[in-house]
Every structure is written in structure tokens, then in C-alpha cells.
């Protein structure tokens, strides 16, 4: 998929980080962007907006990224349940990484993300690779 034509959900509760990530995506040429402050709002809009990629924080209330992806992966619509996900978090603990690994995500970036690393993760996700990339 051409990343410039991608529809991307950014799920991030910190306004500054959300602005930073959305700006980085725009500079990459991705313009079809939707921002959410938690997994509840994003989950509600999945069926209507059908994103090509989801970038999500781990720790948010009332629904964090891990719970969001767990729900995403169990959706009956196979196309929606297989949407590539990249985690973005300040938490790089082994226990959190261990919780994320079984969810079948394309990568994990530590905040604040390096823009080149973010772009590489997005390209990796769109190529359909199933390997987990951590930065």
C-alpha cells in the first residue's frame, strides 16, 4: 500500500504527543488521519472509517492500547481484526513488551518516536510483515 493513501488512526491521550505524531505523519504525506484519546472512541469508529493502520499508546483510560488491540483482534470482521498496529509508549518495561508481543502487532516505539523509525515501522506494517520490531 502507498502510505500516502493510508487512513491512519492515532490513539494517544497526551495532546502534545498526539500533535507531534500527527504532524510527523502529515510530513510523510499521510493526510487521512483520525485522532482519538482512548481506545473506546477508536473502537466505536472502526467499522465506519476502516483504517489501514493504527498507532496507539499503551496506557490510557478508560481503555488502553493493549485492551483495545485485544478487542480489535477478536472482531468478527477479518479485515478489521487484521489491521496493522504500532504501539507508541513511554513504557519500555519487559512486562509491557511481554503483554504486547502476543497481540500480533507490527512494532513498538518508545516516546518520543524518531520520525525515521516511525516511517520504517509504517512501511514494515504495510508490507504485511508479521515480525515484531522494537525501537
Q: What is the CATH number of the domain that holds 127?
A: 3.40.50.2300
Beta strands in the chain (DSSP E): 7-11, 32-36, 53-56, 85-89, 107-110, 133-134
pLDDT in tens, 56-103: 999 999 999 999 999 999 999 999 999 999 999 999 888 888 888 888
Residue range of the domain that includes 55: 3-134
pLDDT in tens, 41-65: 999 999 999 999 999 999 999 999 9
Eight-class DSSP state of 29: T
Q: Please give the tally of structural domains in the chain.
A: 1
Looking at residue 4, its pLDDT comes to: 85
Q: What is the pTM of this model?
A: 0.92
Given a contact cutoff of 8 angstroms between Cβ atoms, the answer to whether 23 and 68 are in contact is no
Q: Which residues contact 134 (CB under 8 A, 6 or more apart)?
A: 97, 107, 108
Cell triple for 9: 488512526
Burial (CB < 10 A; 0-12, 13-18, 19+), residue 34, is middle
Amino acid at each position: 500500500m502507498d502510505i500516502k493513501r493510508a487512513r491512519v488512526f492515532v490513539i494517544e491521550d497526551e495532546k502534545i504527543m498526539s500533535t507531534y505524531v500527527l504532524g510527523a505523519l502529515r510530513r510523510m504525506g499521510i493526510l487521512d488521519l483520525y485522532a482519538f484519546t482512548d481506545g473506546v472512541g477508536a473502537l466505536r469508529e472502526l467499522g465506519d472509517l476502516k483504517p489501514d493502520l493504527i498507532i496507539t499508546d499503551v496506557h490510557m483510560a478508560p481503555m488502553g492500547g493493549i485492551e483495545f488491540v485485544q478487542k480489535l483482534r477478536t472482531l468478527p470482521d477479518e479485515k478489521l481484526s487484521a489491521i496493522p498496529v504500532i504501539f507508541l509508549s513511554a513504557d519500555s518495561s519487559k512486562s509491557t513488551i511481554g503483554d504486547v508481543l502476543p497481540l500480533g502487532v507490527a512494532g513498538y516505539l518508545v516516546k518520543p518516536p524518531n520520525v525515521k523509525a516511525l516511517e520504517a515501522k509504517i512501511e514494515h506494517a504495510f508490507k504485511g510483515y508479521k515480525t515484531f520490531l522494537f525501537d
